[in-house]
Every structure is written in structure tokens, then in C-alpha cells.
Amino acid sequence: MNSNPFTGNAFSTIALTAAINLLPNRYGRCEELKIFPSKGSRFRTVAIEERNGTLSMLPTAALGAPGTVGTRGKRTMRSFVIPHIPHDDVVLPEEVQGVRAFGSDMTTSLAEVMAEKLQAMRDRHAITLEHLRMGALRGEVLDADGSTLYNFYDEFGVTAKEINFELDDGTTDVRAKVIGLKRHIEDNLLGEFMTGIQCLVSGEFFDALTSHANVIRDWERWQNGEALRSDQRSGFTYAGVTFEEYRGQATDQDGTVRRFIGEAEGHAFPVGTGSTFATLFAPADFNETANTMGLPLYVKQEPRKFDRGTDLHSQSNPLPICFRPGVLVKVKAE
């Protein structure tokens, strides 16, 4: 009688979870930009405390004089339920039956099948996380069906900022638009720091920007026509803001292809910040993970009825969040 190979330590919850978190992430410009640092949480609901402190200049004083006294800012508490995203797959007997013959190396072959399954599951979770993170950069985290999970403008009482670049008008002072965008972000950092400003835009916006007469004129003065000789879609810096074409999209459960950035639109945000963005991960709803620090992904397996295969269950519990939605700016080409 053949033993069940899935009962080995290599296929335990801990081993499978470690394996799927080590697999390469094939999707995610947000991950590459390192905008959203990952933070584990022990709870499925997190409370975010906001303190409306202000920065002010300190006056000089005579030696021995008392110093200025710090003031306490108003504090506001908000609660967020971390979304739960499960995904299931199965390993069927016909996928591994070749290793059940006597004398075969069953562990190695089964590991290959499992690695393929885990990579496919990770890819689906990765593109889902990219969708959620892009939503956070827009100020509104959306579910796969387009419904709103969280609108950070409403949650934090901030008015969304939108700048129309009017790129269909050849006389538009595009540089002035970019400077206005920078000033708005700088004013809304509220004591936070940044190393630069990134703007992920659709292909339509990028083409309209790089073909605008005033942009070409300014760029030629600076780079001697480099914009006309090379493909700048991976990063075009103009007036201190890096514009990058972003083509992220995914198909939902109904087969509808959803673009992460709308047509002729874009979204600007600061990079290199310390505490403006984060991705909070809650623990899985397993007995062994209760009250532990959340990990990006979890996997568990159990045999099917009559041992007709093995079910795989994966889940991620992420909440990408922007704590200062005032620094987010939506741009339009027309």
C-alpha cells in the first residue's frame, strides 16, 4: 500500500508557507519601487491613530531663559478591517502518478509539481496585491469587481487633488503644471520627507506628454534631442518629476480586463518617504497562526475524500494604505 507523500514535513503548513513566500514575484511595479513596506499585524482589524501636529519655527532666547513648550496635537482614531483574499487549487493523482511506481524518486517529482502549483498561486496573489497597491496610490482601494473597499480621502477627511495638464492644447505651460503638482505634494507632506516624486501614467498620457511642443522644446534644451532618439517610457524626468508609463492590468472573475490606471490619466506620489505608505498583513485564520505576526502569504493542504488528490488552500490578508492621502495627485491629459 502506498503511503501518502503529503504527510511529510516538506508539505507542512510552515514549510509550504515559507516556500511560497520565497518564490519570485513576477508582478509588481509597486514592489519594485519599494513604495509600500510590508508590516505584519497580529490582528485582523487595525487602528490608525492620527495626530494633527504642526511644525513651527523655534524662536531664539536669552541664555537661561525657559524654552518653548511643545503642544499636543488633536488625536483621531480610525479602524480598518484587513481584507481576506483566499485562493484554492488542487494536486490530482494523474499529476504525480508517474512517481508512484516502485523504486521511483517520489519526493523530487512531487516537489516539482508542488513548486509549479505554488508559483501559479503566488502569481495570482501578486497581481492582486499590485491592484490593491495601485488603488492605494489612487487614494481608493478597489476589490476585484471594481467595488470600493476603502476611500482614504473620505477616511482621513482630505479633498482629492486633480490636475488637468491640458496636453491637447499646444500652448499649455506644462512645466508650470508640474511645478504646481510638486508644490501641492510638498505642502501636504506634513513633516514627512521624500527623495523624489514619481508619476505612473497611462500610455495615452505619456504619449501626449512627451509629444507636447513645449515639453520637447524644454527637453531638447536640456538633453540635446535625447527624447526624440530613445524610448523614455521607463522613466522620463521633467521639471523634477519622473513620469513612467504603467501598463498594469488584470482580468477579473467575469473575464473583464481592468486597467489599473485609466485612459489618459496618471497618479503622482512621493517616493523615499518614511511613514506615508505601508502594506499591513494580518495572520491567516488557521489555529496555528492565531495571534502571530501576519505574513504576506499562507498555504495549507489536506487530502481529498477517498484520497483522490490533495486540496491546496492559499490566502493573503493585505491592506495597502496611504496615511497621508493629501500627497496623492491625479493627473489628466485633457
Question: Could you please report the per-residue DSSP string of 7-38?
Answer: GSGGGSHHHHHHHHHHS-----HHHHHT-S-E
Neighbours of 131 (CB within 10 A): 23
- Phi, psi values for residue 257, rounded to 5°: -85, 125
Name the amino acid, one letter, at 143.
Answer: D
pLDDT band at residue 293 under the 50/70/90 scheme:
very high
How much of the chain exceeds pLDDT 70, in percent? 82
Domains and CATH numbers, the chain: 5-49+78-332 (3.90.1690)
User: What string of DSSP letters covers 288-303?
Assistant: GGTTSPP-S-EEEEEE
Neighbours of 8 (CB within 10 A): 13
Distance CA 227, CA 214 (A): 13
Mean pLDDT over each residue of the chain, to the nearest integer: 85
Decide if 242 contacts 197 (C-beta within 8 A): yes
The maximal CA–CA distance of the chain, rounded, in angstroms, is: 90
Q: CB-hemisphere CA count at 13 Å for 88? A: 6
Rg, Å, the chain Cα set: 25
Q: Which three cell numbers stand for residue 280?
A: 499591513
Tell me: pLDDT of 114 over 90: no
When pLDDT is averaged across residues 198-210 and rounded to a whole number, the result is 95
Indicate the SS3 state at residue 139: coil
pLDDT band at residue 12 under the 50/70/90 scheme:
confident
Tell me: pLDDT of 85 over 90: yes
